[in-house]
A and B are shown apart, each in its own frame.
Chain A
Amino acid sequence: MPLSTQSQADIDQYILIASLDNARNLSNILKAISFRDHAIFNATQNGLKVTVEDSKCLQANAFIQADIFQEYIIKEDAVGFQVNLTVLLDCLTIFGGSTVPGVCTALRMCYNGYGYPLTLFLEEGGVVTVCKINTQESEEPIDFDFCSTNVTNKVILQSDSLKEAFSELDMTSEVLQITMSPSHPYFRLSTFGNSGNAHYDYPKDSDMMELFQCTKIQTNRYKMSLLKPSTKALALSCKVSVRTDSRGFLSLQYLVRNDDGQICFVEYYCCPDEEVEEE
């Protein structure tokens, strides 16, 4: 580990140390939720959870488990802070983010605690950069109160098929309507744009459909502008689970494999557009 030039005293003062041989294993997944500048970091024994919210209607979370890190030391039960995500990403990719095989940026992320900046030690090819990013007091992320017992409909799809649909969505439509039903049309994405409407139907027996558990027909609309950022997570993922609960809240969970094949998760929660009631 090339960043071992720090003294033991330095290391002792940190309440959180997380190291990665390949910083992309963190930066890639953070890019999937980087639709706003600010992110809430919450570190526990289990790992790192990064949350980004938009207008109290949309929340994205990225989970990077402790075992993804080459080194993960946490001295408190929970460590929370808020940073500018855009700045953090710029730092993580400070060496240019090249994808030359065998060359990657190593990262050691350190945090002293409340009031201290987040310190990043980045190294590539023998060159070390130290970044200190100011932190703010972390706000409490919204609790969407989405629990699995309340889930009415759930499907798990392979991401490839959804990727194409999302890339083609009519952006002149203000809403994306999601219909889930035990009978036809099973799983349908609809848009209502300037030129007319469009429907993307996934049958329950499609080989892209890994799981289909729909108990009753539900149609909900979500603001397109809120869901658009989720396409970044979709692009990285190999599988996605789509769940709606009895209130029409949407949960999208993406299974992402990082450069080393390890699994991380990204999830998006979105409130339904108020105007349409569930059927």
Chain B
Amino acid sequence: MDCVVTGGNVKVLAKAIHSLSRIGEDLYLEPVEDGLALRSVNSSRSAFACFLLSPLFFQRYQAASDQSFRCKMPIKSVQAVFKSLASLDRSVEKCRIQLNSETSRLTITLHCKHGLLKTHNLSFQDCESLQAVFDKESCANVLQAQPRLMVDTVLHFPPSLDEVNLSVSSDRVWLRNHVEDDADSLRAMMTELCLSSEEFDHFAVGTQTSVTFCLKELRGLLVFAESSGLPVSMYFDEPGSPVILSVTDSVLEANFVLATLSEDSHPKNHVNSDTKHPDTEQPPDDFMSDDMDSFLIAMETSELPGPSHAPASPPRPSNNRKHSFSEEEALAEGPPNKKFCSLFFGSVLPTPSQLPNQTMQSQEVLASDSEDENQTETS
């Protein structure tokens, strides 16, 4: 593998890495024909981010000779290479990333001004391919805004705030802090922001809905988006389905996939809207759960000499399926009584365009939450 980045793109690469560092501790690197994929996932597997840098991003792009090269390394090591972020565009002329198979090192060389050459030989670990399966196209709701709007909105929430609730109606968006407990909500400070659809570059709400996700991980993307000046698109569906934030331009695509809180089976809670589907009509997904409480992230894995995996059911004691369905709330009624559970998110099959190089392997659940007994996986 041998890639060269020049000019302003070096800083973009560095910012992408810094952005990924807000998600997880490891950086997964995989050069594919479509470009260089940089990914990260958090420890609870409730947040995943991927930057795909197309070959055009590079002055030279040569993916690994053996197509299946992929590695992971502590993201801090890579951040250390791009430490002086502010002066990167002034000092670095060229950045070269090479795989040194003899020494099993990833070599990142920065050619700087005044002839200074910085060479970093980083050790890495072989790993499985990391790819959360998600489908932006099938999401009912799509919003797109300038990063400034989102940054300014998020500014109103304290940095310590974990979860934020996003609710949409046909012409408005509400953002509020999410408080777990009803008891707490009496004491906590509640912040609510309302944005009209006009503030967005694109506003397509198919289903009135309300989703809750982690704010911290969103900030990672916003930092990147703001510096790049690219609009941020949000794709989301019902609670329990992941919310996908995306920043795209001609040479790169960034996707941040965040789990949303699922809800209790709260009976007949103002089910509204025509586009909502009853539980009997599950989307034809390989991996779908009736039980909102125990979605698991589907991580497509392909081991290096990859045999395909038969779909393995996670070891669950009981096989009961709770026929609850997604709650879509009318916003005026206020937040329902949500059972707090670990954040998981469901996934849907990727469209062929999403993963051109991955064979459609059945999805193996890698991590499961033990809190909920009810089995979720279908094959």
Contact = CB atoms under 8 A, between A and B. Distances in A.
A140 interface: no
A125 to B, nearest CB: 37
A196 B84 contact: no
A164 interface: yes
B84 A167 contact: yes
A195 B118 contact: no
A164 B122 CA distance: 20
A276 interface: no
B118 A198 contact: yes
Contacts of A199: 117-120
Is the contact region of chain A dominated by helix, strand, or loop, or is it mixed? mixed
Interface in B83-133: 83-84, 87, 91, 105, 114-123
A267 B105 CA distance: 37
Interface stretch (B12-20, B72-80, B135-143, B210-218): B72-80
A41 interface: no
Interface in A177-226: 194-203, 205-208
Given A164-B87, A168-B80, A168-B84, A196 B122 contact: yes
B21 to A, nearest CB: 14
Contacts of A206: 114-116
B114 A195 contact: no
B115 A203 contact: yes
Contacts, number: 60
Contacts of A207: 114-115
B123 A196 contact: yes
B114 A198 contact: no
Nearest to B123: A196
Given A168-B80, A170-B80, A196 B121 contact: yes
Interface residues of A, number: 20
A208 B114 contact: yes
B115 A195 contact: no
B86 to A, nearest CB: 11
B121 A208 contact: no
Nearest to A194: B77
B91 A164 contact: yes
B119 A201 contact: yes
Interface string B159-190: 00000000000000000000000000000000
Interface string A55-85: 0000000000000000000000000000000
A195 B116 contact: no
A206 B111 CA distance: 12
Interface in A211-263: none
A201 B116 contact: yes
B126 to A, nearest CB: 16
Contacts of A208: 114-116
B117 A201 contact: yes
Please list the 4 inter-chain residue pairs (A to B) with the smallest Cβ-Cβ separation, ordered nearest first.
A195-B77, A206-B115, A196-B122, A201-B117
Interface of B: 73-74, 76-77, 80-81, 83-84, 87, 91, 105, 114-123
11 contacts: A165-B116, A165-B118, A195-B74, A195-B77, A195-B80, A196-B105, A196-B122, A198-B119, A200-B118, A201-B117, A206-B114
